[in-house]
């Protein structure tokens, strides 16, 4: 009985000791983890630095085609939703523009068709000329009868190849004339070689003409494609008389007025988001290496009553500006959607020991 009690006592003691060891290990790990993190008391704030508030994201609204503004439907500072009309175009002007582009499209189409037909006719004519022309001489003389024959005349598909064929024909003419001077070939052989050279010269001229017409056809096709794209854009634009916003935001620029005639690509308005806002601040070299992206900072905008709003570092320039300072950009929430862009801000960075990276 006593031995059984002694065994139970030993087991209880072992269980208690194991529990105490587990608690000790957990406690020591928590203490070590807490020691690795920066304590709130160890963090300090930098002195206030002057910055400038700006919008973080903006979009420019431009006209795809030339338009006349009939009416402006928004004002600077007004918030707009995605797809909201901001201006109305002159429909009559858009219809005239579309009709003019339709005429240009028809002219460009007919020009391409005419050039394609002309080039096809020229190629067919060259082929018929080659098929109906006599063969070039097959031999230069008795000495070369078993060694060399001039090829049949063929249409050359490029100026370079035609020029090579002409150079070969000119070389054969000189050789035939030399053989004629030595009495090895007849005068008829020389005349045939000269005739082949004239054919080669015609091939060079025809090849250059075909190349020029082919290049002109390529340019005409490119012009047709550009006009077609403009016509499609004008047709799509004329279906809606309103110029609409591609996204929501606040109107920050509105350089147009009713009656303005705008060219294609002209700016109608610029919109930007009000939440979040950004701050640009220049930081001295002695402070910049203590900052990191996503670090916390605090922003004050005295003119608008914004006090100690938490912000986050968005980017840090790797190269200083002309003044020797580094540009740092921060973002902070603006749920009240206050008009803060362009106002002076005071920024205080949070400095402290960061945990080591592994």
What's 321's domain CATH number? 2.40.30.170
Examine the fold and report which residue of 272, 307, 335 is the final residue of a domain before the chain moves on. Answer: 272
Residues 244 and 148 occupy one common structural domain: yes
Domain that holds residue 308: 39-57+273-358
Domain stop point among 272, 299, 323: 272
Same domain? For 153 and 250 the reply is yes
Contacts of 158 (CB under 8 A, 6+ apart): 207, 211
Judge residue 311's burial from the number of C-beta atoms within 10 Å of its C-beta, 0-12 exposed, 13-18 middle, 19 or more buried: buried
Q: 159-181 and 187-238 are packed helices; what angle lies between their axes, rounded to 10 degrees?
A: 170
How many domains does one find in the chain? 2
- At 282-294, the pLDDT tens digits run 999 999 999 999 9
d(CA 249, CA 7): 78
Bridge partner list, 312: 296, 331
The verdict on 208 and 306 lying in the same domain is no
84-109 mean pLDDT:
84
- Whether 15 has a pLDDT exceeding 60, the answer reads no
Q: Is the pLDDT of residue 57 over 70?
A: yes
Does residue 265 share a domain with residue 117? yes
Angle between helices 187-238 and 91-132 (to 10 degrees): 160
Same domain, residue pair 266 and 182: yes
Kindly state whether residues 291 and 352 are assigned to the same domain: yes
pLDDT in tens, 178-237: 888 888 888 888 888 888 888 788 777 777 877 787 888 888 888 888 888 888 877 776
What are the strands, taking DSSP E only, across the chain?
44-45, 49-55, 58-62, 67-72, 79-80, 85-89, 242-244, 249-253, 261-262, 267-272, 277-283, 296-301, 306-316, 326-332, 344-351
- Same domain for 287 and 262: no
Average per-residue pLDDT in the chain?
78
User: Is the per-residue pLDDT at 74 higher than 60?
Assistant: yes
């Amino acid at each position: 009985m006593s031995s059984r009690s002694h065994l139970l006592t030993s087991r209880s003691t072992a269980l208690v000791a194991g529990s105490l060891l587990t608690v000790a290990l957990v406690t020591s790990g928590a203490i070590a983890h807490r020691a690795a993190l920066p304590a709130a008391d160890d963090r300090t704030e930098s002195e206030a630095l002057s910055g400038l508030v700006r919008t973080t994201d903006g979009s420019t609204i431009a006209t795809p085609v030339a338009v006349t503004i009939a009416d402006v439907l928004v004002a600077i500072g007004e918030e707009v939703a995605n797809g909201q009309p901001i201006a109305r175009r002159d429909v009559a002007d858009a219809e005239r523009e579309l009709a003019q582009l339709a005429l240009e499209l028809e002219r460009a189409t007919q020009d391409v068709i005419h050039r394609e037909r002309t080039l096809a006719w020229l190629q067919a004519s060259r082929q018929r000329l080659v098929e109906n022309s006599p063969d070039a001489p097959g031999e230069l003389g008795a000495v070369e009868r078993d060694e060399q024959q001039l090829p049949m005349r063929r249409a050359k598909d490029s100026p370079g190849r035609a020029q090579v064929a002409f150079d070969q024909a000119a070389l054969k003419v000189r050789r035939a004339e030399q053989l004629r001077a030595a009495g090895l070939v007849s005068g008829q052989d020389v005349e045939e070689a000269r005739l082949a050279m004239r054919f080669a010269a015609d091939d060079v001229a025809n090849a250059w003409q075909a190349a020029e017409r082919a290049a002109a056809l390529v340019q005409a096709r490119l012009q047709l494609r550009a006009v077609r794209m403009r016509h499609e854009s004008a047709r799509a634009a004329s279906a809606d008389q309103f110029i609409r916003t591609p996204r929501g935001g606040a109107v920050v620029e509105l350089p147009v007025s009713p009656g303005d005639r705008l060219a294609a690509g002209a700016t109608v308005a610029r919109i930007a988001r009000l939440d979040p806002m950004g701050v640009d601040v220049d930081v001295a070299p002695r402070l910049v290496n203590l900052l990191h992206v996503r670090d916390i900072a605090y922003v004050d905008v005295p003119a608008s009553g914004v006090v100690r709003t938490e912000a986050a570092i968005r980017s840090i320039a790797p190269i200083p500006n002309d003044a020797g300072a580094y540009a740092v950009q921060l973002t902070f929430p603006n749920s009240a959607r206050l008009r803060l862009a362009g106002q002076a801000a005071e920024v205080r960075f949070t400095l402290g020991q960061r945990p080591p990276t592994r």
